Amino acid sequence: MFQDPLDPNPYSQEYAQKLDEQDELGCYREQFYIKPDSIYLDGNSLGLLSKRAEKTLLEILEAWKTQGIDGWTQGQYPWFYLAEKLAAMSAPLVGASEDEVIVTGSTTTNLHQLVATFYKPQGNRTKILADELNFPSDIYALQSQLKLHGYDPAKYLVQVKSRDGRFLQEEDIISAMTDEIALIILPTVLYRSGQLLDIKRLTAEAHARGILIGFDGCHSVGSIPHSFSEWDVDFAFWCNYKYLNSGPGGTGSLYINRKHFGTSPGLAGWFGTRKDKQFDMEHQFHQAETAGAFQIGTPNILSMAPLIGSLELFTEANIEKLRQKSLHITQYFMDLIERELDGMGFMIGNPREDERRGGHISLEHRDAARICKALKEEQHIVPDFRAPNIIRLEPIPLYTTYCDVWETVQRLKTVMTEKQYEKFDNTRDVVA
């Protein structure tokens, strides 16, 4: 996709401009609402609004306004089938069949549903295996589920330790797959360091030991191609408001390997029934024969509406091409950081190898919190802070340019050389 331009100075702005001229995904930038004179690098927390997403949200509002309750079965996007339509659009992003995916709930409610379904302690197998670097919400959910079974999380939740506080070693995870483990929950990408785990290998190792395994894809789906069905992953769940740009609090998604179709959902609800039986109003649960069985309540139609337009962009752009640009632009970002910010106290805390790196740069500094504030207030760059010392910088392939990356490093250099960060406290805001 990219051929590095012949240029005597690969760190110049002209070089970045030449890279942008080559970028076949550059045309999608105009589809997004980007604040003038600012650089948005926080798409791994909340993706920007696209014009397509705005359009489909307004179309759903118009359907509600003009059709009322008939919007459930009529119009361009009948609400009764919207979760399945979005699932079909999402499936190629995770390497699944359409019926193995459903758009529903939120990340944590979907995790509760999946653990309630697949955590079946028997005999010696009573423990859940996770890791110590995972996002806290996942750990809260696992602790809660263990308590519901009468188990003390301090004893029955096994969390793989990190050797350095940044990364996990697959060997350590595999070593923890003992005959006491009933279920494994891991992230696809670590939210702080951006490490991409070897999902295929971990799944094979878990199954070789008779253990079910599921993955939290919040920090990878929409950024990294996956092959969940080919890898035989048991289940997965993810949000759609980060890389997939569905809007704040957007409805989540889950994947169920078809070999588990027919497994009774741990948390049954009305929308988990077969479509043809749902309005029979019987008190017998007629389970859907797809991943749709794991829905609980009525779909959040207005929350799902922007995802229609957003996924149209992903269908056109192609996840493989998005990943290719992501790897190239993050490597370019790291090269600039090492050259321009040398001696200023920064350390790149994400993996350097393509096959181990997610989509964001994890830049460590002891003054990370106030550097983030200075970037935002003084330089009009939107980064992301994660305790204790990480500046997350995410160049989104659909709307971040190489010139954005070049300019970010220059402005970050200004923040440091002019000590603009010293006027801010080194503490996080309420929402970091």
Q: What is the pLDDT of residue 300?
A: 96
pTM (predicted TM-score): 0.96
**In the structure encoding, which two tokens stand for residue 110, read together?**
């979907």
**Consecutive 10-residue averages of pLDDT for the chain (432 residues):** 68 95 97 96 98 98 98 96 98 98 98 98 97 97 98 98 97 98 98 98 98 98 98 98 98 98 97 94 95 97 98 98 98 97 98 97 98 97 95 98 98 98 90 71
Residues belonging to the binding site for pyridoxal 5'-phosphate are: 107-108, 135-138, 216, 219, 241, 270, 298
Provide the residue type at 382 as one letter: V
CA distance 47 to 248: 9
Quick one: pLDDT at residue 269? 96
Query: What span, in angstroms and rounded, lies between the C-alpha atoms of 328 and 359?
Result: 10
Helix (H, G, I), strand (E, B) or coil at 308: helix
Strand segments, DSSP code E, in 198-336 are: 212-216, 235-238, 253-256
Note the maximum CA span of the chain.
74
CATH of domain 54-316: 3.40.640.10
Q: Which residues contact 35 (CB under 8 A, 6 or more apart)?
A: 380
Which residue has tokens 């080919």? 230
Question: For residue 428, what pLDDT is reported?
Answer: 85
The rounded distance, in Å, linking the Cα atoms of 184 and 119 is: 9
Each domain of the chain, given as residue ranges in start order, spans 13-31+318-423, 54-316
Give the Cα separation of 157 and 10 in Å (integer).
49
Fill in the amino acid letter for 345: G
**Per-residue confidence (pLDDT) for residue 6, from 0 to 100:** 63
- For the annotated binding site, the residues are 107-108, 135-138, 216, 219, 241, 270, 298
Q: Are 321 and 354 contacting, i.e. CB atoms less than 8 angstroms apart?
A: no
CB 387 within 8 A of CB 432: yes
User: Rounded CA gap, 322 and 129, in Å?
Assistant: 32
CATH code of the domain occupying 13-31+318-423 = 3.90.1150.10
Sheet (strand 127-131) strand order? 101-103, 253-256, 235-238, 212-216, 181-187, 127-131, 157-160
